[in-house]
Structure 1
Amino acid sequence: MSDIPAARKTLVTLQFLGMGLIWGASFLFMKVALGGVTFGQVAWSRLILGGLTLGLIVLISRPRVNGGPVLPREPVVWLHFVVIAISGCVIPHLLFAWAEQYVSSSLASIYNAVTPITTALMATLAFRVEKLGRGQVLGVLIGIIGVVVIIGPWQYAAVTGDLWGQLACLGAATCYGFTFGYTRKFLSGRPITGTTFAFLNIGLAGAIMLVLTPVIALHPVRLDLPVVLSLLTLGTLGTGFAYIWNINVLRAWGPTNASTVTYVTPVVGVVLGVLVLAETLSWHEPLGALLVLFGILLTQKRLRLPSRNVAAREAVRTG
């Protein structure tokens, strides 16, 4: 990040904050939209609208890298984009929308904060594009403990819709972690503009949703102004412009740092859920969220354990 010009750093930071605000509010919009459409229609509409938005931007701006083609020509690149369209859009969007039938928007936004933990695991163990130090390993472990506290297994004598909803949120966060690592390994270094990158990601996911329309979207709807506005905002902003910013941040900061947008999203999600929908949280959910945040800070090296040499010197000095 030190080689990035100051103006570019500021722009990337603003894009990062914009992502956090829009994606944090998306959990509220999903909950509102579910009042008039099915969970499949929520995911379907946001990807279709997002793909159309990004397609128009690409059509008008014609972004290129060094005079090259607007769209990549290598078949393997398109295959990689199909993978992240499924893992980073189709599956997690369906999982979060389905989960919010059973859990609050506040709780869903908290689970989204697990993404840096799953990203660290995927980037390190699955794709080997990053390495974890002992402090980061501790952070991952604390984050996992935080997830267990959020779930609160002591509450469940049997499997319930609420529990399945929480597991679906956790599955979505795992999909995001996989996508961050996969993108860094196979795509982020290629000469593709951020706008084109976002369009291919969302556009291909929208195309997949079109194929799945008979299964996912052909159900009765009950539209009113809040439902329509929620779907439009989810599609054009949350699944449109925000994805351009996401690619820019990913390339500038790397997958683990880019995933820390989830510091912002749960705060926005919880505040909106409480203020707009009058949602409440049980004591263990914010406690678990704090453990996850502490784990993320260690994983992202925002907090560091004292090195062994420093600890040894301190022991000698005090001894």
Structure 2
Amino acid sequence: MTSATSTPVASGSPVAATATTSPTPQRPAAVTRPRARGWQVRFAILVLIWGFSFLFIKVGTQGFAPLQVTLGRVTFGALVLLAILVIKRERLPRSARTWGHLAVAAFFLNALPFSLFAYSELTIPSTLAGICNAASPLWGMALSVVALSEDRPTRRRVAGLGIGFLGVLTVLGAWQGFTGTDLTGTAMALGASLSYPIGWIYVRRTLAGSAHSHLSMSSTQLLLATAQLAVVTPLFTAAPASYPILPLLSVFALGALGTGFAFLLQYGLVAEIGPTTAQMVTYFVPVIATAAGVALLNERLSWNTPVGALIVLAGAALTQSKPRASAARRSTVTD
């Protein structure tokens, strides 16, 4: 693998996505067309899996403590990736330095945000948690300006950040004094969305360009997240008195599908269509999370929730957009 760039992804991803930037050899049109049509189906499946993740969290916390839900999530996700690792006959990294960096990534990209989302959904609807997740690109833009020297603030990005902030205030109903919204739960969900870009930036600064495969790195990361939660969970929770089937199945789906299988889908998309297009999944996840919460959990929506969500997504999209190449070329010609 040559040089790599990290990409913001949705909450279900076990690791910050990376994609090689080296050019790929051109292939005959007859070969590439089927792949060009096929990625939309996998994109839609990924959106559905990550959109339903917030419903799975809500159902899981009805039978287990939040930390237990998170421990089960990373455990089942790690088992899926390890099984694929064995099938492909790949190995885990051997460098202690790599394991050390991945331990930090496991905390910020898995253990912490997954736990915060699980705790938040004890007091807020899954729809609101899904919408708060959409604020992650906004946090990422703000942090990258400070932490990454190559990311310079532009008028477009600053405007997007401001619009996104207004969207968050709209979701929370700021003009009503935040009545009807559990601020602690909402703060936890927003904190989870902040944790992701912290992890992405860390990975980008320490592990970009690693010779190890994405599968190897993500398997190691989930193993480390499982170890972290296996130590912490018994200290703060008692062993479950029972294992109700629906919450148990939800935790299994959350881990095996939302954290394991979904990564394989996302990795394939990033490799095929590039990180910029693949990261657009982030903007569709709140739509599915909201639809699932309303239809299957009977969660209620006030008008400001979907309106605020649209504003947040518009702001996030604006922070990620770039000037058109044609405009840049015209500027070069006139100069």
Helix, strand or coil at the partner of 1:128: coil
For 2:161, the aligned partner's letter is V
Between the aligned partners of 1:179 and 1:49, the Cα distance in structure 2 is 21
Between the aligned partners of 1:192 and 1:8, the Cα distance in structure 2 is 26
Between the aligned partners of 2:322 and 2:40, the Cα distance in structure 1 is 16
User: CA-to-partner distance for each residue in 1:287-318, whole Å, 9 max, x for gaps?
Assistant: 211111111221121787x979x9xxxxxxxx
Q: 1:157 to 1:60 in 2, by over 3 A?
A: closer
Corresponding position of 2:294: 274
Greater shift, 289-298 or 123-132, is seen at: 123-132
Of 121, 128, 140, 1:119 maps to 140
What displacement does 1:179 show? Answer: 1.9
User: CA-to-partner distance for each residue in 1:180-216, whole Å, 9 max, x for gaps?
Assistant: 2222332242122121122112111011111223224
Q: Which runs of 5+ in 1 are unaligned?
A: 64-69, 311-319
Q: 1:255 to 1:129 in 2, by over 3 A?
A: farther
User: CA-to-partner distance for each residue in 1:51-92, whole Å, 9 max, x for gaps?
Assistant: 1221222122223xxxxxx22233222111111100010010
Q: 1:134-173 alignment to 2 at 5 Å?
A: 134-156=155-177, 162-173=182-193
Of 248, 255, 265, 1:235 maps to 255
Corresponding position of 1:286: 306
Helix, strand or coil at the partner of 1:189: coil
For 1:95, the aligned partner's letter is L
Query: Is the Cα contact below 8 Å between 1:184 and 1:254 reproduced in 2?
Result: no
For 1:42, the aligned partner's letter is V
What displacement does 1:9 show? Answer: 6.4
Corresponding position of 1:49: 76
Percent same amino acid among aligned pairs?
36
Greater shift, 129-138 or 229-238, is seen at: 129-138
Q: 1:303 to 1:108 in 2, by over 3 A?
A: farther
Q: 1:93 to 1:61 in 2, by over 3 A?
A: same
Query: Is the Cα contact below 8 Å between 1:25 and 1:269 reproduced in 2?
Result: yes
Q: Which runs of 5+ in 2 are unaligned?
A: 1-20, 27-31, 331-335
Between the aligned partners of 2:299 and 2:246, the Cα distance in structure 1 is 18
Corresponding position of 1:59: 86
User: CA-to-partner distance for each residue in 1:243-262, whole Å, 9 max, x for gaps?
Assistant: 23445556777777654322
Between the aligned partners of 1:107 and 1:226, the Cα distance in structure 2 is 22
Helix, strand or coil at the partner of 2:240: coil
Of 254, 268, 280, 1:260 maps to 280
What displacement does 1:50 show? Answer: 1.3
Greater shift, 253-262 or 226-235, is seen at: 253-262
For 1:264, the aligned partner's letter is F
What displacement does 1:150 show? Answer: 1.4
User: What's the TM-score once normalised by structure 2's chain length?
Assistant: 0.80
Query: Is the Cα contact below 8 Å between 1:197 and 1:247 reproduced in 2?
Result: no
Corresponding position of 2:55: 28
For 1:113, the aligned partner's letter is A
Of 94, 99, 103, 1:78 maps to 99
Of 194, 206, 212, 2:232 maps to 212
Greater shift, 205-214 or 5-14, is seen at: 5-14
Query: Is the Cα contact below 8 Å between 2:75 and 2:226 reproduced in 1?
Result: yes
User: CA-to-partner distance for each residue in 1:262-291, whole Å, 9 max, x for gaps?
Assistant: 212111101111110111112221121111
For 1:101, the aligned partner's letter is L
Between the aligned partners of 2:189 and 2:246, the Cα distance in structure 1 is 24
Q: 1:27 to 1:240 in 2, by over 3 A?
A: same
For 2:306, the aligned partner's letter is P
Of 92, 95, 99, 2:120 maps to 99
Query: Is the Cα contact below 8 Å between 2:125 and 2:299 reproduced in 1?
Result: yes
What displacement does 1:147 show? Answer: 1.2
Q: Please tell me the root mean square deviation across aligned C-alpha atoms, in Å.
A: 3.1
Helix, strand or coil at the partner of 1:212: helix
Query: Is the Cα contact below 8 Å between 1:116 and 1:260 reproduced in 2?
Result: no
Q: 1:92 to 1:280 in 2, by over 3 A?
A: same
For 1:207, the aligned partner's letter is A
For 2:217, the aligned partner's letter is F
Query: Is the Cα contact below 8 Å between 2:169 and 2:308 reproduced in 1?
Result: yes
Q: 1:79 to 1:16 in 2, by over 3 A?
A: farther
Helix, strand or coil at the partner of 1:62: coil
Does residue 175 (structure 1) correspond to residue 195 (structure 2)? The answer is yes
Between the aligned partners of 1:200 and 1:17, the Cα distance in structure 2 is 27
For 1:197, the aligned partner's letter is M
